[in-house]
Amino acid sequence: MRRSIICCLILVAVLAAIAPLAAAKPGKMKIVEVTNEREFLKAIGSNTVINVENLESGYFVLSGKKTLGMSKNARFEEVFDGNQLVISNVNDLIITGDARALSVIMAEPRYANVIKFENCQNIRLENLSLGHTEGGYCTGGVVELDHCQDFSTWNCELWGCGIEGITAWDSSGLMCELTSINNCTYDALSLVRVTDANFVNCVIRNNIEFDTLNFTDCRDVNFIGCAIFDNASFGGWGTSYLIRSENSWVNFKECAIFKNNVHELTTDPRLVRFENCAIFQNEHTSIEGDELDEPVDW
């Protein structure tokens, strides 16, 4: 069992290093090289590949301030402590960075999503590391999808200082490969009315506080070859589960699920299927500030 877990983790690392890091790109795609935030905001549009591999400082911060020449498909939307970037009504957009170092894009407002996609289709993120300059609570994840189709990530890291890695509403065709969701302050992801969502060779680790994986009215959700470990759910209000499934069928195949600090794996075992998974040491351990010492009687 432990040998299979080690193999799973090694496979993720090896594939990240050697696998082709870009999907076949449609014809007639405009390629734009950008080095800073202003150039990035100007380049956003349909049928476009935005290359952020050669950023001036190795990263840039989305400050929430409108810039001269900003794309008509990009706007800043007000949130609690600033503005978040919203990309809307875009088809066929690829944002790609450095395959080995990962190009870093951060949001300055703590309560903003790093990037929100709205009414978009065929969006792909490659070789990116996305997060916040400072941590926040209550609102503001890393990537949010609202009425989007065919969104994918490849060799990306969605990291903490966001309340969750992926938030998706009324969307379909989500594909995350070789992607890490880690160190988020509320949970790893929340999908609501999402169909055809696949997580392949992903790592989900070190996310804290509430139920780690959340699904509401979803269909055809699959985790294949993923490593899910060292997450903790201790936020109270009946939230001490690794998987919260509400009217959603979720499948886990050949995954390693271990050392998660939770009372139970799932809220409803009838809706969650495990096939050839290594599952062990998922149990609740009290930590400082944890008020939920006993499982909630549902």
- Which of 3-12, 75-84, 175-184, 274-283 is the least confident region? 3-12
Residue 60's contacts (CB-CB under 8 Å, 6 or more residues apart) are 36, 37, 40, 52, 104, 105, 106
The backbone torsions φ and ψ at residue 11, rounded to the nearest 5 degrees and listed phi first, read -60, -45
Kindly state the tokens that stand for 13.
């690392």
User: What residues does 295 pair with on adjacent strands?
Assistant: none
% of the chain beyond a pLDDT of 70: 80
Q: Which residue, 248, 268, 266, is CA-closest to 257?
A: 266
The helix (run of H) or strand (run of E) holding residue 258 is strand 256-258
pLDDT digits over 160-210, tens only? 776 889 999 999 999 999 999 998 888 899 999 999 999 999 999 999 888
pTM, full prediction: 0.85
Q: Which residue, 200, 195, 192, is CA-closest to 213?
A: 192
The helix (run of H) or strand (run of E) holding residue 84 is strand 82-88
Q: Which residue, 236, 247, 226, 223, is CA-closest to 295?
A: 236
